[in-house]
Structure 1
Amino acid sequence: MPELPEVETVVRDLRAHGLPGSVIRSVAVRWPRTIAELPPDAFCRALAGKTITDVSRRAKFIVVNLDSGDRLLIHLRMTGKLRFAAPGERPGPHDHVSLHLTDGRELIFNDTRKFGRFRLTQPGDDPFAALGPEPLEADFTPTLFKQRLKGKTRQIKPLLLDQTTVAGLGNIYVDEALWQARIHPERRADTLTAAEIRRLHAAIRTVLQRAIDNAGTTLGSGEANFYSVAGRRGRNADALKVFRRDGMPCPRCGTVIDRIVVAQRGTHFCPRCQKCP
């Protein structure tokens, strides 16, 4: 699933391709379940003629702001991708939504697994009210992070995956941050020391920023993997220290990296650097 760095990469690509300022001429929906809450025909009518004023990100959502004050929220889920169609290109079997722009371009949403969702919100709606803070914003301080963890008895990995704790984290970057901070993924959050919380806070920011700088993480070569709007692979896979490196030596101590299941998620860690609770 694309996480914060991958979604941020898509948003930056959309901006670089001049999507802000574009006018939506029409919309085609080929898989109705992609559209949340509205019937597809009503969704298409609501977008037609609207100008895109900005594209941004909140957590794992792409936020397309419209001149009407409405916002189009796009969640890529497992395999969703956005791309601009090549001249003369016809929709493929997994191309479920097309935004036809007045400048002649077509923005296509492709989703092999069909879990991605489009949702149109109105002015005054607050679809992000339950989300936790953005981990790369200046106001995400060690003090705020400590407050988010205070009194929590859950294991630290599922707590970090919970979007109400911190927004945008997923399996890849939680494993990487916990390794960097030397914290076992099954540690109870309320057992972390102040020093460990500070280390984890710094690690979260470091692994996310590095992944953004590397344009996200692409694992493997199949069509279900992450690709940018321009069709480029993310370069961050080579920077991963533990994720999907089970059986390989820890880059810090040489111990063989282990894989367990925590909260139904495959979890990678170093048994020596990240002591069992």
Structure 2
Amino acid sequence: METKEQIRVVVVGPRGKMGREVVRTVLSDPELELVGAVDRTLSGVEVGQALGLPETGVILSTNLNETLVEAKPDVMIDFTNPNSVRAHVEAAIEYGVRPVVGTTGITQDDLRKWDEALRKQEIGGLVAPNFAIGAILMMKFAAIAARYMPHVEIIELHHDQKLDAPSGTAVKTAELIAKERKSLRQGHPNEEEKWAGARGAEFEGMRIHSVRLPGFVAHQEVIFGGVGQTLTIRHDSITRESFMPGVAMATKRVMTYEGLVYGLENLID
């Protein structure tokens, strides 16, 4: 029987909270092979030793370009930060490596530029604000509900070390809702904020509120109001393991298409 060739993966930021889970996921999936790991400051140390895992045979490097050349990966997985990820993605595409990005704060200009570059290389890439399958379903259900209950507000709650607000998931949810309803001025027309920001951010007439506290991982409520009723759609990621099935799926699916896909929901229809 012919053995299916493994997908070769480089993980950027393997010592971060998400990066550690990604490394574990790659190591445990028989269809994936960890061939490189790039850290911002630590090099020359075996990945398993650095992360408290069994020996992997992969040595940490601080040089992404060298790793992409020497390891010859098929996919680069990056959950770092917007300031770093742009250079990482551009390098990956240049070397014909497919980026799978979970970093939020990516601009529409970035997405357009990356899509064009990926198509020139005839490879695929993925940027997703959330990899939890339940969160993707929450966004889809919210978009459907908005057709019938257009008055809506979003509350997203994350750990207090998150850098961007609102979250990428909240932004994506709002964008999906906006496609299903017209822009709507919600609340009283003479509403006045006694404290600036009390009503949250505004997008196409809906309000988005960000909570940052220790103890949270990633949570979101989409609250709809109608005559005599409310509807709340909520998703909670209790641990970062919740994102890993989506990461594994994306890593495999990105091998099958060209251009950039924005949002994991586009891969699960």
* TM-score between the two structures when normalised by the length of structure 2: 0.27
Larger fraction in helix:
2
* TM-score between the two structures when normalised by the length of structure 1: 0.27
Larger fraction in strand:
2
